[in-house]
Structure 1
Amino acid sequence: MNNQTVSTLNDLLQITNDRIEGFNKVEDKVWEKYPNLKSDYNNMVDQSQKMRLELKSLISERNGDADDSTTVAGGLHRTWIDVKNAFSSDNAESTLENVTFGENAAIQAYEKALDSGDLCPESSRVVQDQLHSLKASYEKFKNLENRHD
C-alpha cells in the first residue's frame, strides 16, 4: 500500500504542478476584462502552492521521492493554449475556458485517486480536502464562463 500511495500521490503532485504551470499562462488581459477575478485567481495560485507542499510532505512521510515534474498531457494542453490564444480574438474568454478545462481535469484525477483505494487514510483525508478546494474554484470560474456564453 505504501508504494501505491506514494505513486498515486506523485500522480497528484504532477497534476498540481500542471495546474501551477497553467496558471502561468493566464495573461494580464484577463484582469483588464475581469478585474474582480484577480483575487480569486491569486487564491487559486496560493492554494496550488499549498497543495503541492502538502503532497510533497505526504510523499516524504511515506519514505517516497517526490516527482516534481509535470504530465505530458498537461504540457500538450499548455501548448494548445498557446496555439488557441494566438488565433483567438478574445484571449480573456479563451483563457477562462482553459482554466475551467484544467480544473475539471484535476478534479477527475483527484476523484480517480480517491476511488482507486491506493491511498492510506491520512492521504485520503488530505486529497479529499484538496478535491473540495478544486471543486470550489472550478465552480467559480465555470459560473463566470456560463454567464458570458
Structure 2
Amino acid sequence: MSTNVTAVLNDLVETSKDGERGFRKAAEDTRDAQLKALFVSRADDCTQGARELQDVVQKLGGKPETGGTVGGALRRGWADIKSAVGGRSDYDILAECEKGEDVAKKNYSDALEKDLPADVRMVVDRQFQGVIRNHDRIRDLRDQFAAAKH
C-alpha cells in the first residue's frame, strides 16, 4: 500500500501548529520569566517546523495544512493547556506541556514508520529529534519544579 506522503506531512503540520498554540498559552500562563522565554522559543520552533513541512507538501504538489483543529488539539494532547485558567502552578503547566510533547513524539514516530521518500524522511527525522529534545527539556524542568514543591 502506498503512503499518502502529503497526508502524513499535513498531520505533522497540525501537530506542530497545536504545539505552537499550546506553548504560547503556556507562556501566557506562567509567571516565571525563564519559563516564559522557553515556551516562546518552543512555540517559535513549532512555527518553523510547520512552515518547513508546509513547504515540503507544496513541493510535492499537495495543498499544505494551515493549522491545527480544536478536535485535533484534543486528540493531540494540548487540550488541558488550551483550556487552562489562571492560577495554575508552573509545575502543572510543565506537566501539560509534557503531555502535548508525548503526543507529538508518538505522531512523529508513527510518521517515520510510513514509507516516506528519503528526502522527506530526513526532514521528519530531524524534526522528530527536536521534538525529543523539547520533550526531555520540559520533563526535566517539570521534575525540577516537582522537587521544589516538596
Give TM-score scaled by structure 2 length.
Answer: 0.83
Distance 2:58 2:3 in 1: 12
Q: Per-residue CA shift, 1:6-60, capped at 9, x if unaligned? A: 1100111111111112123114452x3x332333223212211110111011000
Partner of 1:14: 14
> Does structure 1 retain, via aligned residues, the 8 Å contact 2:94–2:142?
yes
> Does structure 2 retain, via aligned residues, the 8 Å contact 1:9–1:55?
yes
Equivalent residue letter for 1:66: P
Alpha-carbon shift at residue 91 of structure 1 (Å): 3.4
- Return structure 1 stretches of 4+ with deviation > 6 angstroms: none
Larger relative CO (CA 8 A, sep 6+): 1 or 2? 1
Equivalent residue letter for 2:44: D
> Does structure 2 retain, via aligned residues, the 8 Å contact 1:18–1:75?
no
Cα RMSD, aligned residues only: 2.3
Which structure shows the bigger proportion of residues in helix conformation? Answer: 1
1:66-77 equivalences in 2 (<5 Å): 66-71=64-69, 72-75=71-74, 77=77
Q: Which blocks of at least 5 consecutive residues in structure 2 are unaligned?
A: none
Partner of 2:96: 98
1:142 corresponds to 2:100:
no
Most deviating of 61-70 and 35-44 = 35-44
Partner of 1:64: 62
Q: Per-residue CA shift, 1:106-127, capped at 9, x if unaligned? A: 011000000122x211110001
> Does structure 2 retain, via aligned residues, the 8 Å contact 1:44–1:137?
yes
